[in-house]
C-alpha cells in the first residue's frame, strides 16, 4: 500500500489534497492532525496559539470530520490516522462521519488504523493528554470495542518509529516497542476479563500491528526487522497462547528515518531515503506492509505537494521498475544476516528484562526516557567528533548553490496564519449553533463512566461516540476527561543522562563557565523552554544536558509551556539567559509572545532560539529581540555553548 502522510490548514483544504492524491494512484488515506487536535484542545485554547492547522488538519467536531472526508467513500477506504491520546475521540468522529455519508457506511465496514500508542508519546512524541493509567484504560477500551464492533480496524499501532527518532539504538527500538506491546496486551486481557476466550485474545494479538523505523544503515536495520518478527511470535506463543500462524505474523508499516535527514545539502536526503526504503523491502521474510517516505526537504519545513509526489515516486520506482519483488527471501541462509539477527535478539532480550524489572513498560517510562536521552547524547557526540560521518554536514561540506531551495519560500510549505483566526471563529460558531443541552448531557455521561473505577465499569467508547454525535468538541471531550483523570507532565529524562566523558573541548568550556561564574558571582543559569504544543524535545534535551555538562545550572521542565509560564520561571529562577526551542513551525507567533511576556515581567536577560527556523524568518525574530538563532545545521553543540557563555558575559556587563 502506498500513501503519503498529509493534512494541513483546514478540513476542506485537506479534503482536496486527499482527493488529488487518490487520483494520482495513492491507495489509502493517511491523516495528519494538528497539535491541538492531537493533544485535546480547541483552536481557541491558550495553548493552541500558533499551532492551529500547522502540522496537520484541525478537527474540532463532527462537522470538521465530515468536511475532511467528503466525497471519499468510507466503506471502501483504508484510513490511517496518526492520533494517540485523543484516538478514541477521533475514531468516534470517524464513525459518526461514516454513518452520515450517503450512502452511509456502518461501523463494521470501516477499515483503517489509529496509532493509539500512548507509551511512545510519553517517551518520544509528546502528544499525551492524560496520565499513564487512565491512558492505558482508554486504549484497552478501544481495543476491546473494535474487536467486537469494527473487526477490520487496527485499533493500535505499536510504534518503534518515534523511539529511533528520539535516539534509540536498534536494540532499544526492539526492546521498548515489544515491552510496550506487552503492556497493552496485558491491559486488554485484564479488560476482557477471565471469561474471555482464548480465541478472542488471539484475535486481539493478531490485530496488533507495528509502525517501525529504518535508518540508513540498512543491512543492520533489515536484521532488526527479522529480529522483531521472531520476538513477536515468541511473545504470542508463550505469553498469550496464540497458535494460529497467521495471527502470529509480525505485521508492520514503516516510515523511514528522518532524524538523519539534514538541513545541509538537503538533496542528499533523497539518497538516504532510497537506501532506508531498501531496509524494509529487500528481504521478503520481513517486508513492510505499508511504507511512508519523508521528503527531501524534511529538515527545512513542511513538504509541498511536489515534494510529496517525489517521495511517492521513489516507492513506485522501487515497486515497479526494480526486481525487488520478484524473488523469495534473498537473505535466507545468510550467515551474516543470521549473525546480525542473533546479536540483536540477545541485546533486545536483555533490555526487555530490565524493563520487566521496572514493573513493565508503564512503570518503566522514566527509565526508558532517560535511556533514550542518553543514547541520543552518544549519537550526537559521535557526529560532533566526526566518528559518525554525515555527508554534507560534517564531511564533504563544500557545495555549489542549490537550485532546489532558490524559490522565495526556501522550498517549503508555509501555512497561512489566517487559518487560526478562521478556525477560532468557526468553532465558536459551532458551539453556539448546536443543541447545548444534548452536549451537556453527553459530557456528563462521559464523566460518569470515566469516574467509575470498578471492574464492571462501562466501555468509554460508548459515551465517547454519543458525545461525538451530540456535537461536543475535541477540547470539551478532553477537558471532561482531564477533570476526572488529571492532567500530566511526562518525565524529561535529562536528569538521568550520564555526564559527558571529559575531553579537551569540554574542559575548555568548563573553564570558561568557571571564569564567567567568578565574574557573575553566581553559577551561570539557563532556562531551556519549550513554548506551545510542540513535542519535539530532542534538541532542548541535548542543549539542557550539555549546558549542565559544561557546568551551568539548567532549568528545564519539559514540553508544553505557555509564554506566561516561561516568563514566570525566568523571573523566579533568576536565569542569565533563556533558550527557546521550537520545531513545529509556531515560532513566528510564539517567540515574540514569550519575549513580550519576559519583558513585561521585567526580565532583560538575552533570548536565544533553536529549531526548524527558516532563514527568511530570522530577521523578524531578531527584530523581536532574539539574540541568536540556531538550526539543525548547527550540529556542533560545543560551539553553540561557547557562544551562549560569551553572550551571557557580554549582556551582564562582565565580558571575558
Partner 1 sequence: MSGSEQASGNDLGRRLRERDLTVAPAVLNLLESTTQADREQALALLSEVSPARLGHEPRGRVVGVTGPPGAGKSTLLSALLRTWRDADRSVAMLAVDPSSRASGGSLLGDRARIEFDPSDRRVFIRSTAAGERLGGLAFGTRAAGQALAAAFDVVVIETVGVGQAETEIADAADVVVVVVQPGSGDVLQFLKSGIMEIPDVLVVTKADLGQVAVSARRDLNAALRSLGRRDTPVLSVSSVPPPSGIEQLAQAIDERLAAIDLPARRTAARRSAALSDFVGEYGMRALRGLGGRRTAERLLAEQDPALGEAELEQALLSAAGDPGRGVRGA
Which of 56, 170, 215, 463 is the binder for ligand B12 (CB under 6 A)? 56
**Residue 629 pairs with which residues in a beta bridge?**
609
Which x/- pattern over 564-583 shows residues binding ligand B12 (rule: CB under 6 A)? Answer: ---------------x-x-x
Q: Which residues contact 540 (CB under 8 A, 6 or more apart)?
A: 528, 529, 530, 556, 559, 579, 581, 610
Under the binding rule (CB under 6 A), the answer on residue 635 touching ligand B12 is: yes
- 230-238, 313-321, 445-453, 630-638 -> range binding ligand B12 (CB under 6 A): 630-638
Under the binding rule (CB under 8 A), the answer on residue 637 touching partner 1 is: no
- 97-105, 424-432, 504-512, 528-536 -> range binding ligand B12 (CB under 6 A): 528-536
Comparing CB distances to ligand B12, the nearer of 461 and 637 is 637
Which of 61, 62, 125, 191 is the binder for ligand B12 (CB under 6 A)? 125
Under the binding rule (CB under 6 A), the answer on residue 476 touching ligand B12 is: no
Under the binding rule (CB under 8 A), the answer on residue 550 touching partner 1 is: yes
Taking a C-beta distance cutoff of 8 angstroms, is the pair 583, 612 a contact? yes
Residue 576 annotated in active site: no
Give residue for cell 526487522.
225
H or E element that contains 635: none
- 62-70, 214-222, 293-301, 599-607 -> range binding ligand B12 (CB under 6 A): 293-301
Nearest 5°: phi and psi at 303?
-70, 145
* Helices 637-651 & 504-520 angle (0-180, nearest 10): 10
- Name the catalytic one among 34, 45, 117, 534: 534
Cα–Cα dist 102/98, whole Å: 9
Under the binding rule (CB under 8 A), the answer on residue 573 touching partner 1 is: yes
Question: In the numeric block, which cell numbers belong to residue 188?
Answer: 486488554
Under the binding rule (CB under 6 A), the answer on residue 166 touching ligand B12 is: yes
Taking a C-beta distance cutoff of 8 angstroms, is the pair 605, 651 a contact? yes
Query: Does residue 326 sit in helix, strand or coil?
Result: helix
Comparing CB distances to ligand B12, the nearer of 146 and 537 is 537
Under the binding rule (CB under 8 A), the answer on residue 552 touching partner 1 is: yes
Closest by Cα among 629, 625, 633 to 651: 625
Which x/- pattern over 499-528 shows residues binding partner 1 (rule: CB under 8 A)? Answer: xx-x-------x--xx----xxxxx-----
The minimum distance between CB 338 and ligand B12, in angstroms, equals 31
Question: How many beta carbons lie within 10 A of that of residue 199, not counting itself?
Answer: 9
Taking a C-beta distance cutoff of 8 angstroms, is the pair 521, 583 a contact? no
For the chain, what percentages of helix, strand and coil (3-state, to nearest 5) are there? 50, 10, 40
Under the binding rule (CB under 6 A), the answer on residue 527 touching ligand B12 is: no
Closest by Cα among 343, 346, 341 to 226: 341
Residue 376 annotated in active site: no
Under the binding rule (CB under 6 A), the answer on residue 301 touching ligand B12 is: yes
- 219-227, 421-429, 437-445, 624-632 -> range binding ligand B12 (CB under 6 A): 624-632
Closest by Cα among 575, 584, 531, 576 to 557: 531
Q: What angle do CA 57, 63, 64 make, to 5 degrees?
A: 5
Q: Which residues contact 549 (CB under 8 A, 6 or more apart)?
A: 499, 500, 506
Comparing CB distances to partner 1, the nearer of 233 and 378 is 378
DSSP letter for 361, please.
T
- 87-95, 138-146, 218-226, 605-613 -> range binding ligand B12 (CB under 6 A): 605-613
Length of the chain as a residue count: 656
Comparing CB distances to ligand B12, the nearer of 443 and 637 is 637
Comparing CB distances to partner 1, the nearer of 191 and 525 is 525
Under the binding rule (CB under 6 A), the answer on residue 640 touching ligand B12 is: yes
Considering only residues 525-544, where is the footprint of partner 1 by CB under 8 A? 544
653: left (phi over 0), alpha (psi -120 to 50) or beta: left
The minimum distance between CB 55 and ligand B12, in angstroms, equals 3
Nearest 5°: phi and psi at 634?
-85, 65
- Name the catalytic one among 120, 189, 376, 536: 536
Give residue for cell 538523519.
260
Comparing CB distances to partner 1, the nearer of 211 and 556 is 556
List residues near partner 1 by CB under 8 A: 131, 484-486, 489, 491-492, 494-495, 499-500, 502, 510, 513-514, 519-523, 544-545, 547-558, 562, 564-565, 567-569, 571-574, 576, 605, 652-654
Amino acid at each position: 500500500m502506498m500513501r503519503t502522510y498529509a493534512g494541513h490548514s483546514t478540513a476542506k483544504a485537506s479534503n482536496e489534497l486527499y482527493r488529488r492524491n487518490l487520483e494520482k494512484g495513492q491507495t489509502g488515506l493517511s491523516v495528519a492532525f494538528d497539535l491541538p487536535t492531537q493533544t485535546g484542545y480547541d483552536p481557541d485554547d491558550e495553548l493552541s496559539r500558533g499551532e492551529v492547522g500547522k502540522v496537520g488538519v484541525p478537527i474540532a467536531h463532527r462537522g470538521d470530520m465530515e468536511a475532511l472526508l467528503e466525497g471519499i467513500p468510507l466503506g471502501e477506504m483504508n484510513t490511517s490516522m496518526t492520533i494517540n491520546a485523543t484516538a478514541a475521540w477521533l475514531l468516534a468522529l470517524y464513525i459518526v462521519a461514516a454513518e452520515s455519508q450517503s450512502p452511509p457506511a456502518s461501523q463494521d465496514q470501516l477499515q483503517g488504523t489509529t496509532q493509539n500508542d500512548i507509551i511512545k508519546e510519553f517517551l518520544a512524541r509528546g502528544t499525551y493528554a492524560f496520565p499513564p493509567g487512565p491512558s492505558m484504560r482508554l486504549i484497552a477500551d478501544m481495543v476491546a470495542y473494535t474487536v467486537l464492533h469494527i473487526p477490520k480496524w487496527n485499533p493500535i499501532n505499536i510504534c518503534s518509529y518515534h523511539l529511533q527518532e528520539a535516539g534509540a539504538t536498534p536494540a532499544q527500538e526492539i526492546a521498548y516497542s515489544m515491552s510496550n506491546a506487552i503492556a497493552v496486551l496485558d491491559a486488554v486481557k485484564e479488560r476482557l476479563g477471565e471469561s474471555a476466550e482464548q480465541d478472542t485474545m488471539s484475535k486481539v494479538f493478531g490485530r496488533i500491528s507495528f509502525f517501525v523505523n529504518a535508518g540508513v544503515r540498512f543491512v543492520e536495520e533489515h536484521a532488526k526487522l527479522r529480529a522483531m518478527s521472531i520476538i513477536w511470535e515468541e511473545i504470542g506463543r508463550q505469553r498469550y497462547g496464540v497458535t494460529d500462524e497467521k495471527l502470529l505474523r509480525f505485521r508492520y508499516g514503516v516510515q523511514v528515518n528522518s532524524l538523519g535527514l539534514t538541513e545541509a545539502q538537503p538533496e542528499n536526503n533523497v539518497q538516504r531515503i532510497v537506501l532506508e526504503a531498501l531496509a524494509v523491502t529487500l528481504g521478503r521474510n520481513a517486508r513492510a506492509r505499508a511504507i511512508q517516505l519523508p521528503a527531501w526537504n524534511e529538515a527545512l519545513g513542511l513538504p509541498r505537494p511536489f515534494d510529496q509526489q517525489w517521495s511517492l515516486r521513489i516507492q513506485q520506482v522501487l515497486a515497479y521498475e526494480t526486481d525487488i519483488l520478484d524473488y523469495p527471501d534473498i537473505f535466507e541462509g545468510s550467515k551474516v544476516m543470521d549473525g546480525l539477527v542473533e546479536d540483536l535478539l540477545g541485546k533486545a532480550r536483555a533490555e526487555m528484562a530490565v524493563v520487566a524489572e521496572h514493573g513493565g513498560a508503564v512503570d518503566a517510562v522514566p527509565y526508558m526516557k532517560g535511556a533514550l536521552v542518553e543514547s541520543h547524547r552518544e549519537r550526537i557526540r559521535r557526529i560532533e567528533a566526526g566518528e559518525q560521518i554525515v555527508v554534507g554536514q560534517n564531511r564533504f561540506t563544500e557545495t555549489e548553490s542549490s537550485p532546489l531551495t532558490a524559490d522565495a519560500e526556501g522550498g517549503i510549505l508555509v501555512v497561512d496564519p489566517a487559518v487560526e483566526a478562521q478556525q477560532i471563529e468557526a468553532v465558536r460558531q459551532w458551539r453556539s449553533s448546536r443543541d447545548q443541552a444534548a452536549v451537556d448531557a453527553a459530557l456528563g455521561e462521559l464523566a460518569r463512566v470515566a469516574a467509575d473505577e470498578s471492574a464492571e465499569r462501562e466501555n468509554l467508547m460508548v459515551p465517547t461516540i454519543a458525545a461525538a454525535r451530540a456535537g461536543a468538541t475535541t477540547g470539551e471531550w478532553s477537558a471532561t476527561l482531564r477533570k476526572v483523570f488529571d492532567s500530566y507532565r511526562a518525565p524529561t529524562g535529562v536528569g538521568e543522562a550520564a555526564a559527558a566523558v571529559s575531553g579537551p573541548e569540554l574542559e575548555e568550556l568548563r573553564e570558561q563557565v568557571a571564569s564567567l561564574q567568578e565574574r557573575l558571582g553566581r553559577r551561570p543559569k539557563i532556562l531551556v523552554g519549550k513554548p506551545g504544543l510542540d513535542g519535539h524535545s530532542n534538541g532542548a534535551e541535548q542543549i539542557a544536558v550539555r549546558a549542565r555538562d559544561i557546568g551551568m545550572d539548567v532549568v528545564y521542565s519539559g514540553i508544553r509551556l505557555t509564554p506566561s509560564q516561561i516568563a514566570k520561571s525566568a523571573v523566579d529562577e533568576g536565569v542569565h539567559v533563556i533558550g527557546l526551542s521550537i520545531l513545529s513551525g509556531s515560532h513566528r507567533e510564539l517567540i515574540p509572545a514569550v519575549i513580550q511576556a519576559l519583558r513585561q515581567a521585567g526580565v532583560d536577560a538575552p533570548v536565544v532560539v533553536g529549531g526548524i527556523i527558516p532563514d527568511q524568518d530570522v530577521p523578524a525574530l531578531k527584530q523581536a529581540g532574539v539574540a541568536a538563532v540556531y538550526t539543525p545545521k548547527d550540529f556542533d553543540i560545543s560551539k553553540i555553548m561557547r557562544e551562549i557563555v560569551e553572550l551571557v558575559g557580554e549582556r551582564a556587563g562582565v565580558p571575558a
